[in-house]
Amino acid sequence: MKADIPDFKCNNCGICCKKYVGSLMATVEDMKRWEDEERDDILERTFLLADEFHHFRDDQLIADLWITKQGNEPHACPWWHRSTGCRIHDTKPQQCRDYPISLEQAVRDGCEGVPQEVNP
């Protein structure tokens, strides 16, 4: 449960995946997890902001996400599809896991994970 959103449950509507795709970053912990999981498909879509990330704190933002092979930022998350939802839900970046950060943000964005009785 999100701190100020009772009964919040992500239903993979994709609203945040479209709205925030150009501002997402990975933490060191995200990068380490993807290395451990051998998720080269994810790692190849990141752009490291430093040559080496292992000496940073785990919660530090260290890489831009989801850069295309041509070096561009995509218009939507490459891992979300309307028929399947998030294809990396179990290992998605911390910033995605933390969404929404407030009820106000969720309502403003039209997030479908907010129960109707909570939505003002």
| Whole-number pLDDT of residue 50 | 67
CB distance 65 to 25 below 8 Å: yes
57 or 108, higher pLDDT: 108
How many residues are given for the chain? 120
Model confidence pLDDT, tens digit, residues 14-43: 999 888 887 888 888 898 999 999 999 999
pLDDT at 53 over 70: no
| Whole-number pLDDT of residue 57 | 65
| Whole-number pLDDT of residue 10 | 86
pLDDT at 1 over 60: no
| Whole-number pLDDT of residue 38 | 97
CB distance 12 to 113 below 8 Å: no
Count of CA atoms in the C-beta half-sphere (13 A) of 41: 7
Lowest mean pLDDT among 9-18, 57-66, 75-84, 99-108: 57-66
Print the SS3 string covering 68-100.
CCCCCCCCCCCCEECCCEECCHHHCCHHHHCCC
Residue found under tokens 């449960």: 1
pLDDT at 65 over 70: yes
pLDDT at 7 over 70: yes
